[in-house]
Amino acid sequence: MQIKMLSSLWGYEHYPLKDILQKIKRAGYDGIDTFMPDDENVKRELLQLIKEQELCLVVQQHQANGDTFPDFKRSFADYLTLSASAEPLLVNSHTGKDYFSFEQNMELIGMAQSFSRERGIEIVHETHRGRFGFSPLVIGRYFDALPDLRIAADFSHWTCVTESFLEGFKDTLQQAFARTTHIHARVGYEEGPQVPDPRAPEWKQALDKFLNWWDQIVDMQLKQGRNVLTITTEFGPVPYMPTLPFSNKPVADLFEINGYMKDLLRNRYA
């Protein structure tokens, strides 16, 4: 199985697009994980630069909006179309809302599955706060109803939501490992979605927990015969990144932290 290490563009918006893509390529990433811009000219430039740098692409669909179900449903269809237009390896979707009913979220997942079959592009659903898969307590019902449901595993949201290292959700975790197509490699903890610095010894327990989960995902996907597994190093900027009081200076360098995670995981799964 080929493991592709991807960089997010989150937190690097202050760079000119060409410069950050070159920096990502030089750092040894295989591709990027980002959303598709609404502006057609910006989208065209982004895709051309990705092609020039010979980077692969995972598109994140997080723009779908609407406080009511009908509004969200219309927006969701539009942004699936926009995401697929880039012809990515896969689309990682922020699907539904935590306050939508089970039936409403199931309808949205069904839309995505139909769209995936029609367009021939895999769509996975991120375990993200505020979405249908925000908690291991509720996602089991969707797993039971949809044997072919695939996810983007970002367990930092689950540790934050449950204020735990998921000790009470062993069965759900096993199901999640088996259904993971894409990983967001951010380390969370009981009180938040991002440790200040995964290199620091005081966060070794949290890092080891997440490494163990990711190891099991890799093992299961190998056994399933999957050809490619994508992993995005997704430590985020301020305010995800803690800051020093009064100066508001980030406690660590974002690109360095994500680079550390890339090298750690690439060497681990070589």
pLDDT, tens digit, for every residue of 167-205?
A: 999 999 999 999 999 999 999 999 999 999 999 999 999
Phi, psi for residue 222 in degrees, rounded to 5: -60, -45
b/e for 138-156, b at 16 or more Cβ within 10 A? ebeebbeeeeebbbbbbbb
Instruction: Tell me if the pTM is above 0.75.
Output: yes
Q: Is 185 in contact with 269 (CB distance < 8 Å)?
A: no
What pLDDT sits at residue 258?
A: 99
Cα 149 from Cα 179, distance rounded (Å) = 7
pLDDT in tens, 69-100: 999 999 999 999 999 999 999 999 999 999 99
Cα 264 from Cα 258, distance rounded (Å) = 10
Q: Please enumerate, as own/partner, the contacts of 162-170 that have beta carbons within 8 Å and a separation of 24 or more.
A: 162/135, 162/136, 162/137, 163/190, 163/191, 164/190, 165/189, 165/190, 165/206, 165/209, 166/136, 169/136, 169/137
The token pair at 156 is: 């930092």
What share of the chain in percent tops pLDDT 70?
100
What pLDDT sits at residue 112?
A: 99
Q: Minimal CA–CA distance to 47: which of 6, 4, 93, 87?
A: 87
What pLDDT sits at residue 202?
A: 98
All domains of the chain in start order, with CATH: 2-268 (3.20.20.150)
